[in-house]
Amino acid sequence: MCGIVGYIGHRDSQNILIEGLKKLEYRGYDSAGIAVYTDKGLQVKKAKGRLAVLEDQLTGAPLSGSIGIGHTRWATHGKPSDVNSHPHTNVQKKISVVHNGIIENYIQLKEELIAKGYVFESETDTEVIAHLVSDLYEGDIVAAVRKAVKRIHGAYGLGVLAENEPDKLVAVRMHSPLIIGVGENENFIASDIPAILEYTREVYILNDGEMAVLTKDGVTLTDLEGGPVSRDTYRVDWDMQTAEKGGFDHFMLKEIYEQPKAYRDTMNPRIDGGRVVLPEVGMTADYIRDIRRVHIVACGTAYHAGLVGKTVIERLTRIPVETDVASEYRYRDPIINKDTLVIVVSQSGETADTLAAMREAKRQGARVLAITNVVGSSVARDADDVIVTLAGPEIAVASTKAYTSQLIAFYLLGLYFAQTLGTVDAGTVSATIDAMEKLPEQVERVLDQADVIKRVSEQIKDVDNLFYIGRGLDYTVVQEGSLKLKEISYIHSEAYAAGELKHGTLALITEGVPVIALATQEALFEKTLSNIVEVKARGARVLGIANEGDAEMAKSVDDVLYIPRTLPLLTPALSVVPLQLLAYYVSLARGNDVDKPRNLAKSVTVE
């Protein structure tokens, strides 16, 4: 949510900032801006709209200088506009600030500053920081920022630049991700690694309450009191190609097609001799035996992975599991104690709602296991145990390979617990592992049927409403399919437990309404088929998705897609793929920006 880049070094900064912001545009894309220390002093250019609008403005009038900060915005306070775009400056335009997060006490601070005579230009919370730092400035920008952050409450990743001290860049982190890239005679700040990966692989990942002062020649880390912080850099072991489109038209399509690899990468190092090995989970057998309940907490797509996780863990271990939306979890007064294992799931590892839920769970004494795709993320650092999904960077706002890798993580974890508890026999464990090892090749076979999905997407692209139905695990998967379609096609859809339609929603099924029906759960196939027949009888146009060999499906629907057979527990890892493709092709057919859907951002670091 908002992307920050900063540079100090020997090169011209404008290009580094703009190219860095391009890599961060997934974090927010309603406006962008840069501030550069030029031979005319600190200069700012910012513009509403995509980064390309700012780039156009800079083409005729570049900002030249070797220290600068940049920002791409996802609006929280104040609508997208030129004036609300970052960087924000103090009244004299000599201190410039970029910010990711939310300042919760900004109204109170704003009133104080207005009373002192400060004039505000924007509706943002961030502008408060610029004036506050200015108010506290006595010739030392580091000291002023340190004093300012003591006054602000909330979440912030900050980059600050002062015209009077053009040899340094200040960065602070509190609940909003920020990394420092360490180069030779140049250093960087960024919200995420891809922004600086072209220049360096050595990064510091700031912790909450840490500050970095960057000069051309070095980086000093301190806490907010100015006490030294000592830490080794982290070496990034993936390259830019992984974070680029690689011949695909969109990141989302590339990421859908990367799923077989993501499955293998997440699974293979954790399987050995027909058993699951999870050295990163430091739980003793006694601890696992004492778990009385599991809470899975996550948002959006990760929550949908958690719904599958609930079934997986319950079936394999018979431990009761509840899955909660993170933004609700804290407020429902959940029953948590030391026998409760809380599993948080987050691709980015920076989702504010998930982090807040996780902290509450820890405060109440639960052990927290994180499933995340980002090493060194806040979720990864705060959890007791971490299973990293090895899906590689996910750039498209619509999550695909992260979701399926999270499913793989749940299968591994469920089997690992079951091995320890003896709740399933060794034969079942090894048969499940065998079936998991076939999934990558089976996903490829689903991807080979993209033409069926393209055809159906043409029928769907102009409708206003559609329905997804399924039972059991299929119901959890259609919830993900429906979210995917909504977020990138902007078509309203609902996911229903197929048996629930007759209790109300069937009234909405009329001639030609599209229904996507998933029927991959063997034990529920007949029942779901009856529900399909019911919607057909009311005029629905149905795409049925079933297991190979379930020929009955083709007889009952308008279009059919068969997925390769696997164990019922594993089908979500296959059946979600056509739903991802459907959302992609419908979005494409409607001319939407697939990778950057309106109003959204990839990493949601505000509550």
* Amino acid, res. 30: D
Contact region with ligand M6R (CB under 6 A), list: 40-48, 270-278, 346-354, 552-560: 346-354
* Amino acid, res. 209: G
Contact region with ligand M6R (CB under 6 A), list: 81-89, 158-166, 198-206, 340-348: 340-348
For residues 65 and 69, give the distance between their C-alpha atoms in angstroms, rounded to a whole number. 11
Q: In the complex with ligand M6R, which residue's Cβ is closer, 182 or 374? A: 374
Where in 396-435 is the site for ligand M6R (CB under 6 A)?
Answer: 397-399
The residue from 96, 124, 301, 521 that contacts ligand M6R (CB under 6 A) is 301
For residues 394 and 347, give the distance between their C-alpha atoms in angstroms, rounded to a whole number. 8
Paired strand residues for 185 = none
Helix (H, G, I), strand (E, B) or coil at 560: strand
How are beta strands 492-497 and 559-563 bridged, if at all? Answer: unpaired
**From residue 165 to residue 204, what is the string marking binding to ligand M6R with x (rule CB under 6 A)?**
----------------------------------------
Whole-number minimum distance, CB 124 to ligand M6R, in Å? Answer: 23
**Size, binding site for ligand M6R by CB under 6 A:** 16
CB contact at 8 A, 70 and 98: yes
The residue from 13, 346, 482, 587 that contacts ligand M6R (CB under 6 A) is 346
Where in 470-489 is the site for ligand M6R (CB under 6 A)?
Answer: 483, 487
Q: In the complex with ligand M6R, which residue's Cβ is closer, 567 or 600? A: 600
Whole-number minimum distance, CB 343 to ligand M6R, in Å? Answer: 13
Whole-number minimum distance, CB 596 to ligand M6R, in Å? Answer: 11
**Catalytic: which of 22, 401, 536, 602?**
602
Contact region with ligand M6R (CB under 6 A), list: 186-194, 299-307, 363-371, 413-421: 299-307
CB contact at 8 A, 477 and 470: yes
For residues 366 and 336, give the distance between their C-alpha atoms in angstroms, rounded to a whole number. 6
Contact region with ligand M6R (CB under 6 A), list: 83-91, 142-150, 308-316, 395-403: 395-403
Q: In the complex with ligand M6R, which residue's Cβ is closer, 370 or 473? A: 370
Whole-number minimum distance, CB 347 to ligand M6R, in Å? Answer: 3
Q: In the complex with ligand M6R, which residue's Cβ is closer, 133 or 583? A: 583
The residue from 13, 84, 311, 351 that contacts ligand M6R (CB under 6 A) is 351
Question: With the CA atoms of 261, 262, 268 and 271 taken in that order, what torsion angle do they form, in degrees rounded to the nearest 10?
Answer: -140
List the structure tokens of 211: 């500050």
Strands ordered across the beta sheet of 367-372: 321-325, 293-298, 340-346, 367-372, 385-388
Q: In the complex with ligand M6R, which residue's Cβ is closer, 395 or 446? A: 395
CB contact at 8 A, 255 and 397: no
The residue from 68, 177, 300, 306 that contacts ligand M6R (CB under 6 A) is 300
What Å distances lie between residue 334 and 229, 329, 343, 554, CA to CA?
A: 36, 7, 14, 45
Contact region with ligand M6R (CB under 6 A), list: 40-48, 393-401, 421-429, 449-457: 393-401
For residues 173 and 138, give the distance between their C-alpha atoms in angstroms, rounded to a whole number. 22
Whole-number minimum distance, CB 136 to ligand M6R, in Å? Answer: 35
Contact region with ligand M6R (CB under 6 A), list: 183-191, 295-303, 436-444, 542-550: 295-303
Q: In the complex with ligand M6R, which residue's Cβ is closer, 13 or 354? A: 354
Long-range contacts of 419-425 (CB under 8 A, 24+ apart): 419/275, 419/276, 420/285, 420/288, 420/289, 421/288, 421/289, 421/317, 423/316, 423/317, 423/318, 424/316
530-547 b/e (C-beta count within 10 Å ≥ 16 → b): ebbebbbeeebbbbbbbb
Helix H segments across 364-461?
378-382, 401-421, 426-447, 450-460
* Residue closest to ligand M6R, measured at CB: 300
CB contact at 8 A, 503 and 334: no
Q: In the complex with ligand M6R, which residue's Cβ is closer, 370 or 450? A: 370
Whole-number minimum distance, CB 572 to ligand M6R, in Å? Answer: 15
Q: Is 362 a catalytic residue?
A: no
Angle of CA points 286, 290, 295, to nearest 5°: 125
The residue from 4, 299, 312, 321 that contacts ligand M6R (CB under 6 A) is 299
Whole-number minimum distance, CB 150 to ligand M6R, in Å? Answer: 29
Q: Is 596 a catalytic residue?
A: no
The residue from 236, 386, 570, 604 that contacts ligand M6R (CB under 6 A) is 604
The residue from 134, 191, 311, 347 that contacts ligand M6R (CB under 6 A) is 347
Q: In the complex with ligand M6R, which residue's Cβ is closer, 85 or 603? A: 603
Contact region with ligand M6R (CB under 6 A), list: 129-137, 224-232, 252-260, 297-305: 297-305
**From residue 223 to residue 262, what is the string marking binding to ligand M6R with x (rule CB under 6 A)?**
----------------------------------------
What Å distances lie between residue 193 and 100, 127, 230, 351, CA to CA?
A: 15, 26, 20, 17
Paired strand residues for 371 = 345, 387
Q: In the complex with ligand M6R, which residue's Cβ is closer, 429 or 579? A: 579
For residues 416 and 487, give the distance between their C-alpha atoms in angstroms, rounded to a whole number. 34
For residues 254 and 395, give the distance between their C-alpha atoms in angstroms, rounded to a whole number. 10
Furthest C-alpha separation in the chain: 79
**Catalytic: which of 2, 22, 45, 299?**
2
Binding site for ligand M6R (CB under 6 A): 299-302, 346-348, 351, 354, 397-399, 483, 487, 603-604
Q: Which residues are catalytic?
A: 2, 602
